[in-house]
A and B are shown apart, each in its own frame.
Chain A
Amino acid sequence: MKFLPYSFNISIQSLIRDKWINLLSMVTIAAGLFIISLAFFLAYNIDMATEKLPEKFTMLLYLEDNLQKEYTDNIINSVKKNKAVLSVKYISKEDALKELKSALKNSNYIFEGLEENPLPDALELKLRKDLVGPETAKKISEEVLKIKGVSEVDYGETFLSTIQYIRIGIKTIGIIMAIILSAGIIFVCYSTVKMLYYRRQEEFETFKLLGATRGFIRAPFIFEGAIIGLGGGLLSLFGMYVFYYMVILKFSVTIPFFKMILFPSDLFLVLPFLGMLLGIAGAALALGRLKY
């Protein structure tokens, strides 16, 4: 490993000697990483926008009329036994009516001539945030309907599944894109290093005859891959910042919607490291197992 400073020098010389090829692959890598970042940026914002929604999710259990207080407590207790249930709130028909009236303050005439409260007593369930989902809601609704005294269950079925599909879909697309583009980036490094290696292969045969280890021959290329990847990563990071300041911030002055967009600047700091890792991976693959 004592030869590493020398290897580093050699890789710098090679970077300068073949500056156009290296610059080209650096820009290509930057473009790939930039697209990955954009996809991540989009997925991140959709994720953030939809993350809070499950917290607001509630299920309403309508109870049969004129249940005794003890019986209602019984129902509450058996509902609470379910592990997915976070809280249960009892809403009497009077409370429900009051709430309805305040919501429809300006149309009070609707209630004129109303002699009896038409609303049922109800229980409002909140679910644990991490367990909110169409399957859980469906299971709970099936279970509570079996309890005597519960007449009906109401929850936003389509709302829930739509959110879930969006979230899963965005994540899947994002991950698939990241994998494909990462493979592309590795390939760019792979072919660059492979080409540079083949051009000097004869030289390396002599290196081996003089007693060079695989590491000695490989190290400059690994450095080169790392530097190209790092350069690409830095370029793409720069691109993301330019994109944010020139596009998002500019538009948010005139279009309020843009103000809601989050820019996870800390997360994008991994780009240079990601680029470097992909560059090293490409270089290592290109060299393979050197034969003696």
Chain B
Amino acid sequence: MIHFHNVTKEYENQTALRNITFSVGKGEMVFITGHSGSGKTTLLKLIYLAEKIDKGSISVSGWELEKLAESGIPFLRRNIGIVFQDFKLLANRNVFENVALALRIRGMGEKEIKGKVFEALKTVYLRHKTDSYPKALSGGEQQKVVIARAIVADPTVLLADEPTGNLDPDTASGIIRTFKEINACGTTVLIATHNRELFRNTGRRVIKLDAGNLIGEELG
């Protein structure tokens, strides 16, 4: 589903990822861990082409990213649900509209949008906050809205960047349970986190990054 081959990513002043090679199979749920600044977010950004690949090649559910034309990027991204580390919620839209946006850009009809958005909000236990604006939500609630937006369009790949950073341990394990359910339905899930609690005893693959290098893999 996701293949990295000798991928290197350089920012102006430093190398964020060096010679990364790994694969994630269809239907897998894999964790990426490492210290702050080790390159987790950068790795995810390459998958949805928010950053361009400097060296090597990446393929995502059949798309060869280094060959993809700009006009193909929107359609690549529609296969991918993303939980952004910095949320990227729109302050001038309420919870419903924020989640609905992922469907609006696909040109989906109003009725279908309603059903899907409510379903996604139910999954993250936020059905009662439909009309609130992001400003009026707690950090954890905002995070849940982002998760709802990431899953609402039934993506084939779900990328979650520090998805429990603002949640208490109980809610965090609830979210992980949700990811497991989504994963059980066939969605490939990739979770970047420095919180070891999240993958402890999950039995899932954990890819370890350190200062831009892939230093190994273990089972959680």
Interface residues of A (CB under 8 A from B): 1-3, 6, 203, 206-214, 216, 291-292
Please choose the segment from B97-105, B163-171, B176-184 that sits at the chain A interface, where 4 or more of its residues have CB less than 8 A away.
B97-105
In the complex, chain B residues whose CB is within 8 Å of the CB of A214: 71, 74
Closest 4 A/B residue pairs (Cβ): A2-B107, A211-B77, A211-B78, A3-B107
Cα–Cα distance between A208 and B76 once the two chains are bound (Å):
11
Question: Which residue of chain B has its CB nearest to the CB of A200?
Answer: B92
Contact A209 B77 (CB under 8 A): yes
In the complex, chain A residues whose CB is within 8 Å of the CB of B92: 203
Question: Which residue of chain A has its CB nearest to the CB of B80?
Answer: A211
Contact A216 B105 (CB under 8 A): yes
A163 → chain B, closest Cβ, in Å?
Answer: 56
Contact A210 B107 (CB under 8 A): no
Select one of A1, A210, A291 contacting B101, CB under 8 A: A210
In the complex, chain B residues whose CB is within 8 Å of the CB of A6: 104, 107
Please choose the segment from B3-11, B29-37, B82-90, B210-218 that sits at the chain A interface, where 4 or more of its residues have CB less than 8 A away.
B82-90
Contact A292 B70 (CB under 8 A): yes
Cα–Cα distance between A45 and B196 once the two chains are bound (Å):
84
In the complex, chain A residues whose CB is within 8 Å of the CB of B74: 208, 211-214, 292
In the complex, chain A residues whose CB is within 8 Å of the CB of B84: 209
Known pairs A208-B74, A209-B77, A211-B77; A3 contacts B104 (CB<8 A):
yes
Contact B105 A3 (CB under 8 A): yes
Contact B105 A210 (CB under 8 A): yes
**Which of B74, B84, B108 has the most A CB atoms < 10 Å from its CB?**
B74
Contact B49 A292 (CB under 8 A): yes
In the complex, chain B residues whose CB is within 8 Å of the CB of A211: 74-78, 80, 102, 105-106
In the complex, chain B residues whose CB is within 8 Å of the CB of A210: 77, 82, 101-102, 105, 149
Question: Which residue of chain A has its CB nearest to the CB of B91?
Answer: A203
Query: Which residues 58-76 of B have a CB within 8 angstroms of A?
Result: 70-71, 73-76
A-B contact pairs, 30 of them (CB 8 A): A1-B107, A2-B108, A3-B104, A3-B105, A6-B104, A203-B90, A203-B92, A206-B88, A206-B90, A207-B101, A207-B105, A208-B73, A208-B74, A209-B48, A209-B77, A209-B82, A209-B84, A210-B82, A210-B101, A210-B105, A210-B149, A211-B75, A211-B106, A212-B74, A213-B71, A213-B105, A214-B74, A216-B105, A292-B70, A292-B73
